């Protein structure tokens, strides 16, 4: 059973804040306040947890705008998305938008072919979050941005977005029943110059090989 709701919030950044590291709930977040026609949305990006499960983050820069057209063509506001490739939904493992970007290109050779395959894999580039390193990077990319696109699940009460992270590949336990493909969360930031950058997070326990139901494979 996938997430009960999924979509993308499009709007302008009002503010970016960090939760008090000495006073937060089960998860530690960076919080974006995003202005949309319906009002101001709170968007909670998980970067740490006291439970002992590490969070990892990854940045993917210079996204191909043509592969983002299904979302960039939408107006400001919250938009439910079908969980498939055509809607513009994110899937860390399957989205052409997120594959093969920000990687080196090596001269042709058998070794280069192997190295390029590694670099272009969605498994490449994950960094373990200390909370501050992830939030420092996110804040840097958000500074002066033109527009933000926040993928995840809507709050059940009030205006907000959560589950702004990888939503598949969980081990057996309390979250695996929410796994599914084409429902990953993340923040795609459009800079003042028009460059698109994705800021992505996952929990270290989530595997990066999944079946057609988003379960570990």
The answer on pLDDT for 107 being more than 60 is no
pTM for this prediction? 0.88
Question: Has residue 214 been placed in a domain?
Answer: no
Question: Has residue 210 been placed in a domain?
Answer: no
Residue 47 binned pLDDT confidence (cut-offs 50, 70, 90) = confident
pLDDT value of residue 112:
46
Question: Has residue 209 been placed in a domain?
Answer: no
Q: Specify the number of domains making up the chain.
A: 1
Phi, psi of 136 (to 5 degrees): -60, -45
pLDDT value of residue 132:
86
Question: Has residue 131 been placed in a domain?
Answer: yes
The answer on pLDDT for 11 being more than 80 is yes
Cα dihedral sign for 82, 84, 88, 94?
positive
Residue 100 binned pLDDT confidence (cut-offs 50, 70, 90) = very low
- Cα–Cα dist 6/41, whole Å: 15
pLDDT value of residue 122:
62
Question: Has residue 18 been placed in a domain?
Answer: yes
Question: Has residue 208 been placed in a domain?
Answer: no
Conformational region of residue 23, where left means phi above 0, alpha means psi within -120 to 50, and beta covers everything else: beta
> Domain residues for 67?
7-203
Mean model confidence pLDDT for the chain? 87
Question: Has residue 56 been placed in a domain?
Answer: yes
The answer on pLDDT for 7 being more than 90 is yes
pLDDT value of residue 46:
87
Q: CB–CB of 182/194 below 8 Å?
A: no
Question: Has residue 105 been placed in a domain?
Answer: yes
Residue 22 binned pLDDT confidence (cut-offs 50, 70, 90) = low
What 3-state DSSP class applies to 16?
Answer: strand
Which of 15-29, 126-140, 187-201 is predicted most confidently? 187-201
């Amino acid at each position: 059973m996938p997430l009960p709701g999924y979509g993308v919030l499009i709007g302008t950044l009002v503010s970016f804040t960090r939760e008090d590291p000495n006073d937060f709930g089960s998860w530690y977040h960076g919080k974006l306040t995003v202005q949309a026609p319906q009002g101001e949305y709170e968007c909670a990006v998980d970067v740490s947890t006291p439970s002992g499960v590490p969070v990892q983050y990854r940045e993917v820069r210079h996204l191909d705008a043509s592969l983002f057209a299904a979302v960039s063509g939408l107006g400001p506001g919250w938009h439910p998305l079908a969980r498939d490739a055509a809607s513009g939904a994110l899937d860390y493992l399957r989205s052409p938008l997120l594959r093969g970007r920000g990687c080196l290109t090596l001269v042709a050779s058998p070794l280069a072919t192997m190295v390029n395959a590694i670099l272009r894999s969605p498994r490449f580039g994950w960094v373990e979050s200390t909370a501050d390193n992830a939030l420092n990077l996110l804040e840097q990319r958000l500074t002066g941005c033109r527009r933000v696109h926040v993928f995840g699940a809507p709050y059940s009460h009030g205006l907000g977005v959560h589950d702004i992270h990888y939503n598949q590949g969980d081990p057996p336990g309390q979250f695996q029943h929410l796994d599914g493909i084409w429902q990953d969360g993340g923040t795609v930031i459009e800079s003042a110059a028009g460059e698109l950058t994705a800021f992505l997070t996952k929990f270290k326990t989530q595997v990066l090989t999944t079946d057609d139901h988003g379960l570990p494979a």
